[in-house]
Every structure is written in C-alpha cells, then in structure tokens.
Amino acid sequence: MHPLAHLAIVWAAVFVAVVAAKKTRLTPVLFFLFMGFLLVNVGILPVESDLFIREFAELGIIFIMFSLGFEETTQNFMASMRKSWGIALFGAIGPFAISYVITDYIWNDPHIALMCALAMTATAVSLTMVSLRSEGLKKSVVATRIMTSAVIDDIGALVAVAILVPVATGAETLSLNGVASAAGKAALFFVIVTLLGGWIFPHKLRGWVKRVPLIGRYGVKHILTFDEGRHATLAILLLALSVGLIAAYFGFHPAVGAYMAGLIVKEEYFLFSDKSRIIKKTPHTKSVYKETKRVVDKAAFSWIGPVFFVDLGAKIIFDTNLLLEVLPYAAALLAGLLIVQVGSAGLAARYTGGMTWHQSLMIGFGMLGRAELAFVVMDIAYVQNEILTKEAFFTLMITAFCLNIAVPLTIRWWRPYYQAAETRT
C-alpha cells in the first residue's frame, strides 16, 4: 500500500472516531485505538506499517505530549503541588504497586512488570473532565482537585518513565547502581530543563546570565515575537523537537522532553517588546498566543497525534485463543486497579486533602482513566523495544479500555449521592 493511501485511510478513520466519541461522550483515544484494530483485522490496513507512517506516528505523540505540557503553566503546577500532592502521590503509588505485583505474578518477569506498572500509573484527566462536564460538575471542587492531582501525577509518571525505561530496556542494569545511573541521567536532564525555564527563557534576566553573549540579550520571547509573531508556531514546535532531542540524547523518549518543553513555555513570552521593554498586552498579542495554541492543539489532537493511536491499535491482531488466554489476566488487573486506585486516591483526598467522604469517592472514580501517557509507555515497551510480550500488551490494552469505560459510568452512578451530600453541607 502506498504510504499516502495508508495515511488517507487513517485520517478517514480518525474522523469516524471523532464522530463516535462525540455521540458517546467518551474520549476519542478509545475510538482511535478501536479503528486501528478494526481496519487491520479486516485487511484494510497492512499488518506492518510503512516507515513513513511509523515516523509520522512518532511525531504525533511528540505533538500530543507537547500540547499537554503547553496546556499547563509552571505556576499552576506549583500551586497544584501544594494542594493535591497527597492525592497524586498515593493515587499513583497504589496503582503502580498493585500492577507490578499482579503482572510479576502472572509472567514472572520484572521488566514486563515494571513497564506494566508504569503504563497503569498516569491518570487520563481529559476523559474525567469530559465526564464531569456532562454531569454538570465541571466547576466543582472535585474537578479542581482531580485536575491538579493529575498534573502532578503525569509529571511523576514522566520522571518514572525517564528513570525506569532505560532499566527495563537493558540500557541500565536492574540493580542499585543501574537505577542510580538512570536516576542521575534523569536528574541531569531535568536540571537542564529547569535552567532553560528558570534562567534562559525569561525576558527579565538576572545576575551573571545578563553577561552571557546572546543569551544575556535575547531569549525565547524574541524568537516567538519575531515579525509580530507570524512565525510563533514554527518557533514553538522547533522548541518542542529540540528539547525532545535533548531527552533522546540522555536515553529518554522524545515525548518526555516535549512535555517538559510545553510546561516551561509561558504566555508572557508572546508579549511584544521594544528596546527590551515589554509592551502591555494588546488584542494582537493575545491572538498570537491563542492562535499558536490552537494550531498546536489541532495538530496534536486532530490530524497528527491521532495517527499514533490508530497505528498502535493496528498492532492488535485479533486472535481468539490469545484473547481467551489473557481475559483472566485482564480481569485480575482490572479488579486490582479499580479497588486500589479508588481506595488510595479516595483515602488520600480524605486525609491529606481535607475532602469529605462523598467528595473523596468522586475523586477516586475520576482518577480511574488511562490515556495518552499509558499508551506512550505501551508503545515504547511493545513496539519500540519489545519488552512486553503479546499477552502482556493485550492485557494492558483491555485493562486500559475497561478503566476508561468505568470513568463515565462510575461518575454518573455516584453523582446523585454526591449532589445530595453537597446539598446537605
């Protein structure tokens, strides 16, 4: 099949998936994966994707992770950490631990168990927010806590991916020295990102940085506002790829770097300046930022990013015997995650976040979803490095799908009790 014909079919599938997601009010990711699975099993898509499609899909996940980071701000992240650290911490440790224990018991392989645990750790906040919005709870206190906890959760999961993937792939040994080496590389990478975000990117430079040639006079703001911001989108995507390449140099997935690049970019960098003096915001200034963000979001979630999920879904070749074999494994993992995720996040919300019991349970239900980061880990482990077996990959896909289905169902079921309790208080 010609690569462009392959891409045309994938884009048509993406459009169908978006329509289905709109009708069912579920996350489009589920339908992207399903369309890939369907098309490859009916023979429309080839079993082995062309190199062009694989590289296009790789670019897609970089765009997605950058867009997710671009959505957040450093200030929001720091504020979130103070308010919701307990929900994020215990809501991540619990699923990681139960996933590792169950999958290690099933396959008796610490590398497989490690990747399964990483995949089942990060929360899909977008799915939860869609579900809360449909139930009229978008501006509730639980929505805020879930959102802020998920931000911390995703950052922590990215750090874990950066440290543990080299161990699981064999680049570092599964020993104290190996983990320490991977952790050291991760720490060095995050120090570089911190330096970029804290000292090099900002317009108002301080101390010795002012004396550094070029950096002391020019920063990211000057690049983004060049020619009145007409090339801001190009500049911002170049930044995402550059930090992604730095991450790849340290042995991490480029998506990790892209997310961090998005996180350290601020709206204030889009302000225009004249002779090093920032001019007040104007409608044009605001439109440059909004337009850049709109283009990045469209690329990430409409026409480049979805190719990653469709291509990943196309890796699932239907096999009745394999499906029957992994169903008990998926059921065990699903049951463990349902209990531990709701329990750990709910208890943390109650005792570290000061929430009531009905609010805590709603937060626990809202933390069940698994989306972008989970599938990035699966792609790294199954497609790129062949750490996961076919059985483990199928088990994770089934489990993630069921967890995502559980989010709107549990929120809808608990909403009457939640609202009744809120009325009493």
* Cβ atoms of residues 388 and 112 within 8 Å: yes
In the prediction, which pLDDT does 90 show? Answer: 85
Rounded to two decimals, what is the model's pTM? 0.69
Residue of 30, 21, 120, 64 lying closest to 301 (CA atoms): 64
In the prediction, which pLDDT does 107 show? Answer: 94
Residue of 410, 394, 408 lying closest to 130 (CA atoms): 408
In the prediction, which pLDDT does 175 show? Answer: 62
Beta bridge partners, 273, equal 278
- At the top level of CATH, the class of 3-424 is mainly alpha
Treating both helix axes as pointing N-terminal to C-terminal, what angle do 254-264 and 176-195 enclose, rounded to 10 degrees? Answer: 40
- Block residue for tokens 């991916």: 161
- Block residue for tokens 């990478």: 189
- Block residue for tokens 């889009």: 270
Total residue length of the chain? 425
Sign of the C-alpha dihedral computed for residues 28, 29, 34 and 39 taken in this order: positive
Low-confidence ranges of the chain (pLDDT < 70): 27, 72-83, 124-127, 129-131, 133-134, 138-139, 147-148, 151, 154-155, 169-179, 182, 198-219, 251, 272-286, 371-372, 425
In the prediction, which pLDDT does 171 show? Answer: 62
Burial of 83 (0-12, 13-18, 19+ CB in 10 A): middle
Instruction: Give the single-character DSSP code of 175.
Output: S
**Cα-based distances in Å from 412 to 136, 137, 310:** 10, 11, 28
